[in-house]
Amino acid sequence: MKRLVTAALAVLVAASCARAKPAESDGTPVDVSVAEVVSLDIAELVKGYGSLSFQDKADVTAREEGQLVRLLAKEGDEVRRGQLMAVLENKRLEIAEESARNAVDQAQAARQLALARKQEGEFAAEARVLQLERSGMELEQAKAALAEGRRVQDELEILHQAGGLSEEEIIAGRIKVLNLEEKAHLLAKDLAIREVGLRDEDLAAAGYSGFTSDQERRMALIGLCTASLCAELMAAQARLSSATTDLKAVRLSLSELELRSPIDGVVGAVYVSPGECVKPDTAVFTVMDVDSLHAVIQVDEVEAAGLEEGCGAELFVDATGGVFKGSIKSIAPIADARSGSVTVKVALRDKPAGLKPGLFVRVTIHTGRGRTALIAPDACLLGERDGEASVFVVAGGRVYERTVRLGESLPEGRELVSGVSRGDVLVSGPGRWLKEGDHVSIAEES
């Protein structure tokens, strides 16, 4: 684990640049340079490396077969959602569109014809209904005339019996009544013929009933007369609807020969060249969402245990020489058993230009935790071995040898995990001639 020293104190307090020299035989104190053990606040950092990647991508796929005739985007181009990227050509679909257009035109003409026939049929039906009503009125008039003729004839018969009329006159009256009866009978027959298909039972069978006025009944009769023409019009409308749907389907297929970007992003790959034949479901482009750009790095499983989503990070991209801010987006729940590492995704806070997927990136993650360490210069250490070393502590004009356990190497010096305390004064650059209990004096600065 790498750590960054966030607060540093001066760690070397040198009284003299001169090296320590052996004690004189007369017991004169030896001049030594010294340094003080200081404490530093150290923030824990986790480092890893990997590459830039993207969260979202979309393949631009051909839905119809066609020959690529126009290529309007290349790798690295920025595209917007809906932007035209390529055009395919399919002669079969072009011919199918023309045929479908002709079918629509024919269906529209057939519908117009059926509509005209229905309108003519409505006029004819209305005239028939009016003629039927006229026939009914004529029959009623004939019946009334017959009734009146019979009444008059009855009176004449009485008068004839009384001798008031001659035989010829009474016979003429009787013939007149017979003529009225014949006329009424003929009108009744004519009305019955005209009513065929328009009787009350015919209306009921067709679903017409419950009339509240003569006008409602008249409209029902017109509807009954034009039922077949209405059916023809509905069939023509259905054929027109079907032809229109077929034309829409062909035009939809033609529109799919225009390949457009489904998202905003950057063209990551182009798989087809102009002139090539593209089959359905063939990817022509891959568009990457640059707003989802992030770093994918590997972190030691031990260090990953202390990471959390949202931890701040710095990303160093060698290709651009830039340093970018970011934060942990996700941490894989499972470690790689072979490498002992965990995949961590770090999202970029900003979306700087020039960054592309695949670029190598080094990431430093700030865990938000820290500790206090004791630090001394490397020059104070003697005989470093197996993570331990000796130091000479100056106290009361004498030196005392102590064994210390070593920690990390930092820019400010070496971490001393145990064996000394903050504020202890250590001999800097001790020689092997220095022994426990020797008299020393701190050399003054020159």
Between 293 and 316, name the one with better pLDDT.
Answer: 316
Q: What pLDDT score was predicted for residue 27?
A: 65
Q: Categorize the per-residue pLDDT at 26 as very low, low, confident or very high, splitting at 50, 70 and 90.
A: low
Q: Categorize the per-residue pLDDT at 445 as very low, low, confident or very high, splitting at 50, 70 and 90.
A: low
Q: What pLDDT score was predicted for residue 302?
A: 85
DSSP 125-157: HHHHHHHHHHHHHHHHHHHHHHHHHHHHHHHHH
Helices (H) and strands (E) in the chain, counts: 6, 22
pLDDT tens readout for residues 118-148: 999 888 888 888 888 898 899 999 999 999 9
The residue-averaged pLDDT of 14-24 equals 40
Q: Categorize the per-residue pLDDT at 1 as very low, low, confident or very high, splitting at 50, 70 and 90.
A: very low
Q: Which of 64-73, 192-201, 224-233, 256-265 has the lowest mean pLDDT?
A: 192-201
Q: Left if phi > 0, otherwise alpha if psi is -120 to 50, otherwise beta: which for 151?
A: alpha
pLDDT tens readout for residues 92-117: 999 999 999 999 999 999 999 999 99
Strand stretches in 72-141, DSSP E: 78-79, 84-89
Q: What pLDDT score was predicted for residue 8?
A: 34
pLDDT tens readout for residues 168-185: 888 998 999 999 999 999
Other CB atoms within a 10 A radius of the CB of residue 299 amount to 25
Q: What pLDDT score was predicted for residue 426?
A: 93
**What tokens does 108 get?**
């529209």
The residue-averaged pLDDT of 16-29 equals 51
Q: What pLDDT score was predicted for residue 4?
A: 35
Q: What pLDDT score was predicted for residue 244?
A: 96
Is the predicted pLDDT of residue 354 greater than 80, yes or no? Answer: no
Q: What pLDDT score was predicted for residue 17?
A: 34
Is the predicted pLDDT of residue 385 greater than 50, yes or no? Answer: yes
Q: What pLDDT score was predicted for residue 274?
A: 93
Q: What pLDDT score was predicted for residue 324?
A: 87
Backbone dihedral angles phi then psi of residue 40, each to the nearest 5 degrees: -130, 140
CB 193 within 8 A of CB 139: no
Q: What pLDDT score was predicted for residue 289?
A: 81
Q: What pLDDT score was predicted for residue 197?
A: 81
Share of the chain above pLDDT 70, in %: 92
